[in-house]
Amino acid sequence: MMKILVYGAGAIGGYLGARLLSGGSEVVMLDRPSMADALNEQGLIVEETGERLHVRPRAVSSLAEAYAIHNAYDLVVLGLKSYDLPIALHDLAKNGQDEAAIFTVQNGIGIEEPFIETFGSSRVLPGSLTTPVSKIDSFHLIVERSDRGLGLAPAQSGQSIDRWVSLFKNAGIETVSLADYESMKWSKAFLNIVSNASSAILAMTPGEVYRDPDLFNLEVAMLRETTAVMARRDLQVVNLPGSPARSLALAVHYAPRFLLKPILTKIVAGGRGDKMPSFYIDLESGRGKSEVIYHNGAIAAAGEELGIPVPVNRLLNDTLLALTNRELDRQEFANNPRRLLSEFKK
């Protein structure tokens, strides 16, 4: 029986932990004290396509407590936001007591490298989850779409990940094995950036963004910059469960504009509809952090290093970070596409 530690029991960590527990693994969840107390008292409910899964994981609030329960784990699932990973990295490097595989399921580019440098590539398991999960409260999760799943790829070339694919499949998660983790992570980022930063900056829904001709052109330019950087780095755009990234990339490059707009609009409507994206939620929270640096920021940095023009990704990253850090006034940008476009022309 697998022993699994879920480090961060938010929406994604909670969902994966609940599924793994229901699949027969021993699962311990690590989170802040109030969250750990809620999980221990009430358990965790996951609702998906009419199914109501109620599990009762053991929850702790420190790594020391986790290793007091089990002196070794087979897998550590990192359920934190990308910008909180340095905390987990330091904690695991200082206090980890085993050779557990470390599962990096965060969205974004460059997530794995610090863990590979610290623990070695053989211990890192990169993943990309396309299943959208919402957190109703500390013990109640809703799976918004069940036609998605999980991609896994080895961090070390030639390393078998069959045991991990089987683990997640047995837990009821559609799981596919991919050859190259960087192509997988860049492809997921390619999907994530669609109407994410622009929507957050302008406080407009993705649908509203795509109905504006100038913003639509900006989005297309952003996506074309991204695939140009990927091509220079010899990275392939690969499909993920329920998310045809490769088809989207081909459409962005080859479809006539009059066909591309309805294709992208349909993808946006199917993926997000009028739901505000993750970058907006982070900005609205006021916590002063944004995952844009692992998306548009990482794409911009890679393009600039390679000498590839990436002005739109740079604009979106820098503008959203300035708003996050309160260096720019959010009210100036709210529902004002011209304000964003004026930054592009500077």
SS (H, E, C) 213-269: HHHHHHHHHHHHHHHHHHHHCCCCCCCECCECHHHHHHHHHHCCHHHHHHHHHHHHH
pLDDT at position 247 is 87
Task: Answer whether CATH 3.40.50.410 is correct for domain 3-179.
Answer: no
pLDDT in tens, 228-281: 999 999 999 999 999 889 988 998 988 887 788 887 777 776 665 578 999 999
Mean local confidence (pLDDT), 30-34: 95
Among residues 94, 58, 102, 111, the alpha carbon closest in space to that of 76 is found at 102
Instruction: Give the SS3 label for residue 111.
Output: coil
pLDDT at position 98 is 79
Does the pLDDT of residue 97 top 80, yes or no?
Answer: no
Beta-carbon contacts of residue 95 (< 8 Å; ≥ 6 apart)? 63, 64, 67
The dihedral through the CA atoms of 304, 248, 16, 120 has a sign that is: negative
Does the pLDDT of residue 20 top 70, yes or no?
Answer: yes
- Listed in order, the ranges of the chain carrying CATH 3.40.50.720 are 3-179
Does the pLDDT of residue 152 top 90, yes or no?
Answer: yes
Count of CB atoms within 10 A of residue 18's CB?
Answer: 27
pLDDT at position 201 is 98
pLDDT at position 185 is 98
Does the pLDDT of residue 286 top 80, yes or no?
Answer: yes
Please, what is the average pLDDT of the chain? 93
Does the pLDDT of residue 223 top 90, yes or no?
Answer: yes
pLDDT at position 346 is 58
pLDDT at position 270 is 60
In which band, very low, low, confident or very high, does the pLDDT at 215 lie, cut at 50, 70 and 90?
very high
pLDDT at position 272 is 58
In the block, tokens 């900005």 appear at 283
pLDDT at position 273 is 58
pLDDT at position 222 is 96
Percent helix, strand, coil in the chain, to 5, is 50, 15, 30
Among residues 153, 101, 147, the alpha carbon closest in space to that of 127 is found at 153
Does the pLDDT of residue 174 top 70, yes or no?
Answer: yes
Locate 238 and state its tokens: 């690969």
pLDDT at position 343 is 81
Does the pLDDT of residue 12 top 80, yes or no?
Answer: yes
pLDDT at position 238 is 96
pLDDT at position 271 is 61
- Output the CA torsion 244→129→109→112 (10° steps): -140
Mean local confidence (pLDDT), 62-84: 96
Mean local confidence (pLDDT), 122-127: 97
Between 3.40.50.720, 1.10.1040.10, 3.20.20.70, 1.20.1260.10, what CATH number should domain 186-344 receive? 1.10.1040.10
- Listed in order, the ranges of the chain carrying CATH 1.10.1040.10 are 186-344
The CA-atom distances, in angstroms, between 326 and each of 223, 320, 322, 331 are 27, 10, 6, 11
pLDDT at position 345 is 65
pLDDT at position 159 is 92
Count of CB atoms within 10 A of residue 146's CB?
Answer: 15
Does the pLDDT of residue 85 top 70, yes or no?
Answer: yes
Query: By mean pLDDT, which of 71-80, 129-138, 151-160 is the weakest?
Result: 129-138
Residues in the chain: 346
- E strands in the chain: 3-7, 26-30, 44-48, 51-55, 58-60, 75-78, 101-104, 124-129, 133-137, 140-143, 150-152, 175-177
pLDDT at position 210 is 87
Give the bridge partners for 240, in sequence order: 243
**CA-to-CA distance for 28 and 94, rounded, in angstroms?**
19
User: How far, rounded to the nearest angstrom, does the alpha carbon of residue 128 sit from its chain's CA centroid?
Assistant: 7
Does the pLDDT of residue 315 top 90, yes or no?
Answer: yes
Query: By mean pLDDT, which of 27-31, 49-53, 263-267, 278-282 is the weakest?
Result: 263-267
Count of CB atoms within 10 A of residue 95's CB?
Answer: 12
